[in-house]
């Protein structure tokens, strides 16, 4: 059985992990089983990358309906007309706003709609509205699925946890980070610890820097990579200087070679101040065989087995974060064992192949009940 799936996405660009996860799904879909089409508001890095896969990409606005009810109604009717022309078997909405448009447009059509939820914070009554429009809710972690505990007995049937997947060939233990280390004049004997993510206040890179100051006092060979770009960069650079870390911290800016950047690290850190729904960079680092120190909240404890495939610490605590990093840097045997366990953990539970298989199986289950 082959099905045509229309994917609705609220951005044409790679804004974060949600768009990367959607792209990886589309990239690895079995086209003999799923015939995909992407609908997004405009061109951009995501749209062009998906088009390069040979997947049709169409543009359609998904503006906020707030204060423009009549205009939104017109767009919903336009979407309904477009869907009648494309004749998909199923709609897969990757954001809440896309779900609102898709859910309203598909009312009375009989075309099932999947709402993919990748945000941990509840949206209150809006969750109840969109859940009512959806045939199935995909959650990227149990922590995200908890948004729908109010479904009570219906939750098991309505909500399906499908973890994001990583390409085990792209992020592998054989990947070399030598070019990146050379780029930043890092010596072979340097111990490199890195954090990857958009430079935003809630991402907690300030906690990483405060921990780095403690680590640097105990491990003189330690060096620190802050990978990413964002509005918080200036504040972070100022803090780095205040902490006396200017010669040991490297701001890489935005990178398109994340597998090589992670390969250059001896340990990876995730330190968000707020609970993460999943944290893609954690599975990327673990797939690369790197020991990870991460926050013990949100979806991360579902990924990292504390003390075995990584170390979990409380958020906003640079002292405990530094202690965990120091222990890994000073115990290379433990660090190596943890990296190997991390790789096995990803192979067994978080590969992109598993993600694609589980997603496709859910499509077929939904369609079999039409």
Is there a single domain that holds both residue 151 and residue 184? no
Strand, coil or helix: what is 351?
A: strand
pTM of the model: 0.94
Check whether 174 has a pLDDT greater than 90: yes
Rounded to an integer, the average pLDDT of 303-322 is 97
**Using one digit for the tens of pLDDT, what is the confidence trace for 123-164?**
999 999 999 999 999 999 999 999 999 999 999 999 999 999
Alpha-helical regions (H) of the chain: 17-28, 45-52, 69-86, 96-105, 125-133, 142-145, 155-158, 178-183, 205-218, 233-242, 258-263, 280-287, 318-330, 332-349, 352-368
Q: How many CB atoms lie within 10 A of CB 28?
A: 17
Is there a single domain that holds both residue 189 and residue 159? no
Is there a single domain that holds both residue 185 and residue 139? no
Rounded to an integer, the average pLDDT of 159-184 is 97
Is there a single domain that holds both residue 48 and residue 119? yes
User: Beta-strand (E) ranges in 159-308?
Assistant: 159-161, 191-196, 222-227, 249-253, 267-269, 292-295
Query: Hunting for tokens 């690290």 — which residue is that?
Result: 265
Tokens of 4: 């045509």
Q: Is residue 208 part of a domain?
A: yes
CB 193 within 8 A of CB 329: yes
**328 falls in which pLDDT band (50, 70, 90)?**
very high
CATH of the domain at 209: 3.40.50.2000
Question: 185: domain range?
Answer: 178-349
**Using one digit for the tens of pLDDT, what is the confidence trace for 6-17?**
999 999 999 888
Rounded to an integer, the average pLDDT of 284-304 is 98
Is there a single domain that holds both residue 329 and residue 362? no
pLDDT at 106: 94
Distance CA 132, CA 66 (A): 20
- Report the domain count for the chain: 2
Q: How big is the chain by its Cα radius of gyration, in Å?
A: 22
Distance CA 162, CA 115 (A): 12
Is there a single domain that holds both residue 189 and residue 329? yes
List, in sequence order, every residue forming a beta bridge with 136; answer none if it has no partner. Answer: 114
Distance CA 343, CA 171 (A): 10
Check whether 62 has a pLDDT greater than 90: no
Comparing 68 with 198, which gets the higher pLDDT? 198
């Amino acid at each position: 059985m082959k099905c045509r799936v229309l994917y609705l996405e609220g951005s044409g660009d790679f804004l974060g992990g949600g768009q990367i996860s959607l792209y990886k799904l589309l990239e690895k879909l079995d086209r003999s089983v799923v015939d995909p089409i992407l609908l997004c508001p405009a061109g951009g890095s995501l749209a062009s990358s998906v088009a390069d896969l040979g997947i049709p990409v169409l543009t359609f606005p998904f503006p906020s309906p707030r204060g423009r009810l009549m205009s939104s109604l017109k767009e919903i009717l336009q979407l309904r007309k477009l869907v009648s022309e494309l004749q998909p078997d199923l709609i897969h909405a990757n954001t809440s706003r896309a779900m609102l448009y898709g859910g309203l447009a598909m009312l009375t059509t009989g075309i099932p709609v999947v709402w993919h939820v990748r945000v941990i914070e509840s949206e209150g009554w809006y969750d109840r509205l969109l859940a009512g429009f959806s045939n199935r809710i995909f959650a990227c972690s149990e922590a995200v699925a908890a948004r729908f505990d109010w479904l009570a007995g219906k939750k098991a049937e309505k909500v399906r946890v499908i973890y994001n997947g990583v390409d085990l060939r792209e992020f592998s233990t054989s990947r070399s980070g030598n070019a990146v280390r050379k780029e930043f004049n890092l010596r072979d004997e340097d111990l490199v610890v890195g954090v990857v993510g958009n430079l935003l206040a809630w991402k907690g890179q300030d906690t990483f820097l405060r921990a780095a100051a403690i680590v640097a006092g105990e491990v003189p060979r330690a060096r620190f990579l802050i990978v990413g770009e964002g509005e918080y960069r200036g504040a972070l650079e100022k803090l780095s200087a205040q902490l006396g870390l200017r010669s040991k911290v490297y701001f890489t800016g935005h990178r398109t070679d994340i597998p090589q950047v992670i390969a250059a690290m001896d340990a990876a850190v995730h330190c968000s101040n707020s609970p993460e729904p999943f944290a893609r960079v954690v599975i990327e680092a673990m797939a690369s065989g790197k020991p990870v120190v991460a926050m013990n909240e949100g979806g991360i404890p579902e990924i990292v087995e504390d003390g075995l495939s990584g170390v979990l610490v409380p958020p906003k605590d640079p002292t405990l974060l530094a202690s965990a990093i120091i222990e890994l840097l000073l115990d290379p045997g433990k660090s190596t064992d943890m990296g190997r366990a991390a790789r096995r953990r990803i192979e067994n539970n978080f590969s992109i192949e598993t993600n694609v298989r589980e997603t496709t199986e859910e499509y077929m289950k939904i369609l079999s009940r039409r």
